[in-house]
């Protein structure tokens, strides 16, 4: 998704990884490693024209229901913690929530 932020242009993207499960739904391989067991991770990235990249992650615990939309919101909020400009963050959220309006 392209972000138009005044004179700045950036790309917003997401990546989801889910754990491997057996036929009974039991997690057999975690995506976060043995020290932080989880069944899914969502990564948000904001890449700027100068190749700077802000990244945020959301981890879905073994007890949680995986939701791409919820993971995107949490990961995006964490990626936006890199920005000190409140108005800039508000504009990113506005464009994110209106991404399907044609």
User: Considering the domain boundaries, does residue 39 fall inside one?
Assistant: yes
- Residue 47, number of CB atoms within 10 A of its CB: 16
Kindly list the distances between the CA atom of residue 47 and the CA atoms of 32, 56, 66, in Å, as whole numbers in the listed order. 23, 12, 25
Residue by residue, DSSP assigns the chain as: -EEEETTEEEEEEEEEEE-EE-TTS-EEE-SS-TTS--SEEEEEEEEETTS-EEEEEEEE-TTSPP-HHHHHHHHHHHHGGG---HHHHHHHHHHHHTTT--
Per-residue pLDDT of the chain (102 residues; tens, 9 = 90+): 888 887 888 999 999 988 777 777 776 776 676 666 778 889 999 999 888 899 999 988 878 888 999 999 999 999 999 888 899 899 999 999 988 764
Residue 7 lies in a domain: yes
Whether residue 102 lies inside any domain: the answer is no
Asked whether residue 31 is assigned to any structural domain, the reply reads yes
Number of domains into which the chain is organized = 1
Query: How much is the pLDDT for 3?
Result: 87
Residue 32 lies in a domain: yes
Q: Are 53 and 46 in contact (CB under 8 A)?
A: yes
Whole-number pLDDT of residue 57:
92
* 67 lies in some domain: yes
Q: 80 phi and psi, to 5 degrees? A: -75, -10
Tell me the residue range of the domain where 64 lies.
Answer: 2-97
What pLDDT, on the 0 to 100 scale, is given for residue 23? Answer: 77
């Amino acid at each position: 998704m392209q972000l138009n932020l005044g004179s700045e242009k950036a790309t917003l993207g997401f990546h989801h990884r889910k754990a491997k499960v057996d036929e009974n739904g039991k997690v057999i391989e975690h995506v976060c490693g043995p020290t932080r067991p989880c069944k899914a991770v969502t990564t948000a990235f904001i890449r700027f024209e100068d190749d700077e990249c802000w990244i945020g992650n959301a981890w879905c615990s073994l007890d949680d229901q995986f939701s791409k939309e919820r993971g995107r919101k949490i990961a995006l909020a964490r990626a936006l913690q890199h920005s000190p400009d409140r108005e800039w963050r508000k504009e990113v959220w506005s464009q994110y929530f209106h991404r399907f309006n044609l």
